[in-house]
Amino acid sequence: MLPVFDLVTGIVFFCFLLAAGFLGLWFYYDRRDHAHSAAGRGRATFHCIRCDHLYSARGEVATVPCPKCAHVNSRLRF
């Protein structure tokens, strides 16, 4: 025989499932955003003073040659 639930028990159970769903979505999107921001954190931006080209490079490098004209440029500082 199936147990009989009253209205209050059903509402509490529904609210618990809804809260668990929102908690799961929050955890998923928080992890996804953290992984996305961690991937872009190790990039440095450069501006070529010869050909006016903006480019980026991975890692903590101070100077990188321009991919268009091969002029060595220093890292942009904001």
Domain boundaries, the chain: 1-41, 43-78
Check pLDDT > 90 for residue 2: no
Q: Is the dihedral of CA 8, 12, 17, 18 positive or negative?
A: positive
What's the mean pLDDT in 44-54?
Answer: 91
Dist. CA 62–CA 8, nearest whole Å? 64
Q: Report, as an integer, the average pLDDT of 40-53.
A: 86
pLDDT at 75: 87
pTM beyond cutoff 0.75:
no
Q: Give CA–CA dist 7/5, Å, rounded.
A: 7
Question: Using CA atoms, how far apart are residues 29 and 6, in angstroms rounded to an integer?
Answer: 35
**Average pLDDT value for residue range 63-78:** 89
CB 77 within 8 A of CB 45: no
Answer yes or no: is pLDDT of 39 > 90: no
